[in-house]
């Protein structure tokens, strides 16, 4: 049985009263138990008791990924290790991983949040969930797993990889919900086709995809290739894992944030100033129920905007737009800011190309050079060189037109771009290698 769903449709004032109470308790605990937070508060000349309303949160300094690194591995934990029952680590591609901990109560909170997420994404206790998120230090696999069990659904803990076997399981076990990264979902579709299995003949109704950015266009591609309704789920290890926000299957327009556990803010990444609803900026989270690893004004580096308009599903929790990228993923190509997801949107509009691409950035002399490698179908690839060149030119023209950046487009053979079983590697930036 799922608890706490009444919070999802609560009038805002009632929800905010709960948030304030929980925030105050979190600040007291973090201050008492984590030297880092004590020092931060002291430097800002404040004490937890000075925070009297939700707006006062803005007086507290931010916490950054670097702060977590500086306190590696356990320095940010607010409980003794005796009370920690689970440890995960973020998939950080650069530098040290970020280590996060959970008390038994945190694990339960997370399971509840994931049960609520899966439910918002269309799952019910009658569903069979094929969980292809990786199990391990990554929070995707176990996060979905505990949530599915809490919901009372049946979960197949297949994890990532061993793709052919996954297709056989899908064919034989009849799962109705697929959980995976969007890029791995596409790869599953591709391998199924090679094996003569059509996704459309399988029993999937919903796919709950996240852990990496994916454009609206990519959603359309996935829905048509896999014959299911694709819902976006968001989260990050530092905040709890998946289960921070999810789209409702009714609207699929913005991800509802579980505000009874997390307070979101949007800031200007340069000035740190808090921005109003509707404005795009960097997402910041404060956890208000976690015990082992509370985060206070944690800068996610994810770019989005918040929307407080009522939703057709009846939830009153604010929605965040699909994440368009990360501040640290933004490519600055000859001074123009470009997010990989913007290039993805342009590519997905060209029906001749496949949804597999990679961006390579190099420096030629003093200039940045962007090469977009994208796959085309077998039939097209064996076509005349001239028609391929024309298509390359057309895509380069569209990129220039929409994004204002010059790129060299290279159409490549089907399956020549490495497939990932978890998060896709979209950018190879050779400028920093």
Identified binder of ligand DLL from the candidate list 101, 207, 213, 355, rule CB under 6 A: 213
Closest CB to ligand DLL among 241 and 254? 241
Instruction: Decide: is 133 part of the binding site for ligand DLL (CB under 6 A).
Output: yes
Identified binder of ligand DLL from the candidate list 63, 91, 221, 225, rule CB under 6 A: 91
Residue listed under structure tokens 């297949």 = 158
Closest CB to ligand DLL among 223 and 362? 223
As a whole number of angstroms, the distance between CA 23 and CA 106 comes to 16
Identified binder of ligand DLL from the candidate list 90, 163, 215, 287, rule CB under 6 A: 90
CB of 174 to ligand DLL, least distance (A): 23
CB of 70 to ligand DLL, least distance (A): 18
Instruction: Decide: is 237 part of the binding site for ligand DLL (CB under 6 A).
Output: yes
Measured in whole angstroms, the distance separating CA 347 from the mean position of its chain's CA atoms is 21
My answer on whether omega of the bond before 73 falls inside 30° of 0, hence cis, is yes
Instruction: Decide: is 241 part of the binding site for ligand DLL (CB under 6 A).
Output: yes
What burial letters (b/e) apply to 111-120, b meaning 16+ CB within 10 Å?
Answer: bbbbbbbbbb
Closest CB to ligand DLL among 233 and 417? 233
Binders of ligand DLL in range 272-311 (CB under 6 A): 300, 302
Q: Please provide the distance, in angstroms rounded to a whole number, between the alpha carbons at the two ends of the chain.
A: 50
Strands lying side by side in the sheet with 281-287: 262-267, 281-287, 298-304, 325-326
Q: What does the CA dihedral 209, 373, 300, 63 come to, rounded to 10 degrees?
A: 150
Which listed range, 21-29, 120-128, 234-242, 387-395, lies at the site for ligand DLL (CB under 6 A)? Answer: 234-242
CB of 133 to ligand DLL, least distance (A): 5
CB of 218 to ligand DLL, least distance (A): 11
As a whole number of angstroms, the distance between CA 284 and CA 120 comes to 23
The interface mask with ligand DLL, positions 364-393, x = CB under 6 A, is: ------------------------------
CA distances from 31 to 37, 120, 285 (A): 6, 34, 17
Identified binder of ligand DLL from the candidate list 105, 205, 217, 326, rule CB under 6 A: 326
Would you tell me the crossing angle of helices 163-173 and 182-194 to the nearest 10 degrees? 80
What burial letters (b/e) apply to 321-337, b meaning 16+ CB within 10 Å?
Answer: bbbbbbeebbbebeeee
Tokens of 188: 């599953």
CB of 296 to ligand DLL, least distance (A): 17
Identified binder of ligand DLL from the candidate list 121, 235, 264, 340, rule CB under 6 A: 235
SS3 state at 41? helix
Q: Which residues lie closer than 8 Å to 381 by C-beta, 6 or more apart?
A: 388, 411, 412, 413, 414
Instruction: Decide: is 230 part of the binding site for ligand DLL (CB under 6 A).
Output: no
As a whole number of angstroms, the distance between CA 336 and CA 429 comes to 16
As a whole number of angstroms, the distance between CA 346 and CA 327 comes to 20
Q: What does the CA dihedral 402, 426, 194, 177 come to, rounded to 10 degrees?
A: -90
CB of 214 to ligand DLL, least distance (A): 7
Residue listed under structure tokens 């931060």 = 40
Tokens of 352: 């001749």
CB of 164 to ligand DLL, least distance (A): 23
Instruction: Decide: is 232 part of the binding site for ligand DLL (CB under 6 A).
Output: yes
Tokens of 311: 């939703």
Select the residue whose beta carbon is closest to ligand DLL and give its number: 210
Which listed range, 33-41, 137-145, 162-170, 192-200, lies at the site for ligand DLL (CB under 6 A)? Answer: 137-145
Which listed range, 12-20, 139-147, 397-405, 407-415, lies at the site for ligand DLL (CB under 6 A)? Answer: 139-147
Identified binder of ligand DLL from the candidate list 101, 121, 122, 140, rule CB under 6 A: 140
**How many residues bind ligand DLL, per CB under 6 A?**
23
Q: Evaluate the CA torsion angle 25, 104, 235, 358 in order and state its sign.
A: positive
CB of 332 to ligand DLL, least distance (A): 18
CB of 409 to ligand DLL, least distance (A): 24
The interface mask with ligand DLL, positions 173-212, x = CB under 6 A, is: -------------------------------------xxx
Chain residues in the site for ligand DLL (CB under 6 A):
90-91, 133, 138-140, 143, 210-213, 232-237, 241-242, 300, 302, 323, 326
């Amino acid at each position: 049985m799922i608890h706490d769903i009444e919070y999802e449709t609560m009038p805002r004032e009632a929800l905010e009263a709960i948030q304030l109470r929980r925030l105050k308790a979190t600040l007291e605990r973090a201050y008492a138990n984590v030297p880092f937070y004590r020092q931060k508060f002291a430097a800002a000349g404040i004490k937890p008791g000075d925070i009297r309303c939700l707006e006062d949160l803005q007086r507290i300094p931010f916490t950054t990924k670097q702060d977590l690194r500086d306190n590696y591995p356990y320095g940010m934990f607010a409980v003794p290790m005796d009370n920690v029952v689970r440890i995960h680590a973020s998939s950080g591609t650069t530098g040290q991983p970020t280590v996060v901990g959970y008390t038994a109560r945190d694990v339960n909170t997370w399971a509840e949040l994931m049960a609520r997420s899966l439910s918002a994404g269309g799952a019910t206790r009658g569903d069979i969930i094929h969980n292809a998120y990786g199990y391990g230090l990554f929070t995707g696999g176990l996060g979905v797993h505990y949530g599915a069990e809490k919901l009372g659904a049946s979960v197949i803990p297949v994890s990532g990889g061993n793709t052919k076997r996954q297709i056989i399981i899908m064919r034989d076990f009849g799962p109705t919900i697929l959980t995976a990264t969007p890029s791995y979902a596409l790869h599953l579709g591709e391998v199924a086709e090679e094996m003569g299995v059509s996704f459309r003949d399988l029993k999937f109704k919903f796919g709950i995809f996240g852990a990496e950015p994916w454009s609206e266009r990519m959603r359309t591609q996935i829905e048509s290739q896999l014959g299911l309704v694709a819902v976006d789920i968001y989260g990050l290890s530092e905040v709890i894992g998946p289960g921070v926000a999810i789209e409702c299957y009714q609207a699929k327009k913005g991800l509802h944030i579980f505000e009874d556990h997390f307070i979101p803010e949007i800031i200007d990444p340069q000035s740190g100033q808090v921005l109003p609803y509707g404005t795009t900026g960097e997402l910041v989270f404060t956890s208000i129920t976690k015990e082992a690893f509370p985060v206070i004004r944690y800068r996610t580096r994810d770019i989005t905007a918040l929307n407080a308009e009522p939703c057709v599903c009846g939830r009153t929790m604010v929605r965040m737009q699909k994440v368009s990228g990360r501040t640290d993923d933004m490519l600055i190509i000859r001074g123009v800011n470009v997010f990989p997801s913007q290039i993805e949107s342009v590519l997905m509009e060209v029906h001749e190309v496949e949804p597999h691409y990679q961006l390579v950035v190099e420096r030629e002399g003093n200039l940045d050079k962007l090469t977009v490698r994208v796959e085309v179908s077998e039939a097209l690839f064996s076509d005349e060189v001239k028609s391929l060149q024309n298509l390359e030119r057309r895509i380069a023209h569209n990129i220039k037109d929409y994004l204002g950046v010059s790129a060299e487009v290279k159409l490549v053979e089907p399956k020549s771009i490495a497939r990932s079983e978890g998060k896709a590697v979209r950018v190879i930036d050779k400028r920093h290698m």
